[in-house]
Structure 1
């Protein structure tokens, strides 16, 4: 069993390939179309992004290490009461798509914080909302990066710091140079990788169970 632990050549190739491909999407997004020369292009992709890639990007946004690692552990230890959070989330999404989106979309805003400024005719609510959002996501991203880094370090010889810096650094670079367009298409690529990985785990586990039964 010890020989199976740690990253092998193939693992490093796949990991490096994902990093390079993600950076490539950022570079391509920065050079194509409007070239991220305007705020509209950078923040909302000139409002020309298609529904399917945006929908996939939103799904992948929720597929963080908190969900992949934390939820199974929560259900395993404490039971399935966590399902009620899904009920609340679905209700929230239904209300948002039927009430909130029809209000926001015609305004052509780039963020909810811009709406705060218009709604209250003051920059104070916008600044407060922006600072609060930044603090929230700093904490959130720390947890999201910590989870998979600890998991990789526990089962392989891949260093904790290398996992954090490579993943975070790649995301910062392709987001900074490619804008929202790069984020959306990188999420689509990551969705493909995650789907292949999940299918691979299911197939591998099924074969192992069948071999034990035989």
Structure 2
């Protein structure tokens, strides 16, 4: 059963609307343009997607339940040392921009696995890397789906399995019929919803505590601003 902090009517409307719009984006992407009839269009959007939505899609790809649910819990329990990972990510991203992108982009590849075949002139490395990648993402997706399904089961009357299938089912539908174009624009939609949700949580939490200074004071007194400890 849902707790006292469970979903209200507005929450169900937002949740159902997001699922419906996500599938709708997939259907629209499947019907527009070339209808996703070629590998180039299905996998890379004919290489005609705009920079901003693609950049947002990349960001959202890393804003899974691991980040949205796991990171706040980690910092709440152990403090802010985890924020140092952002420094490492910054240097990693700069390296990728200067080294990896100039190497891969001119090759017009659809995946890093294709590069392995070109680099070693053999399909064996490509096949091995593909199998490893499949297993990696199977385990990763399982963890990513577990998080939101656990939350939905806690705040709604949905059974756990229904939460898993509703989230996974919508993703499978819009991805399979709409290709990369649907994935990118669905990520833009999800990014907007996540940002609005985070802003709402920050504002409501700050108002409940009193003010921004009080928030930092409480965190400091409880050793949650321990960047160097």
Scaled by the length of structure 1, what TM-score is found?
0.93
What are the within-5 Å matches in structure 2 for residues 95-174 of structure 1? 95-174=95-174
Local SS of the residue matching 1:110: coil
Structure 1 residues 133-161: Cα deviation after superposition (integer angstroms, max 9, x where no partner): 11001000100110121122234333211
| Contact map agreement 2:3 2:155 (CA 8 A) in 1 | no
Q: Structure 1 residue 200: deviation in Å? A: 1.5
Structure 2: stretches of 5+ with no match in the other structure: 215-229
Structure 1 residues 63-118: Cα deviation after superposition (integer angstroms, max 9, x where no partner): 01111111122122222222232222211111111011101000000000000001
Structure 1 residues 171-180 or 200-209, which shifts more? Answer: 200-209
Aligned residues: 211
| Contact map agreement 2:6 2:154 (CA 8 A) in 1 | no
Over the residues paired in the alignment, what is the CA RMSD in angstroms? 1.8
Q: Match for residue 59 of structure 1? A: 59
**C-alpha distance in structure 2 between counterparts of 1:200 and 1:76, whole Å:** 19
Structure 1: stretches of 5+ with no match in the other structure: none
**C-alpha distance in structure 2 between counterparts of 1:74 and 1:3, whole Å:** 23
Larger helix percent: 1
**C-alpha distance in structure 2 between counterparts of 1:27 and 1:143, whole Å:** 27
Runs of 4+ in 1 over 6 A off after TM superposition: none
Q: Structure 1 residue 15: deviation in Å? A: 1.1
Q: Match for residue 23 of structure 2? A: 23
| Contact map agreement 1:5 1:156 (CA 8 A) in 2 | no
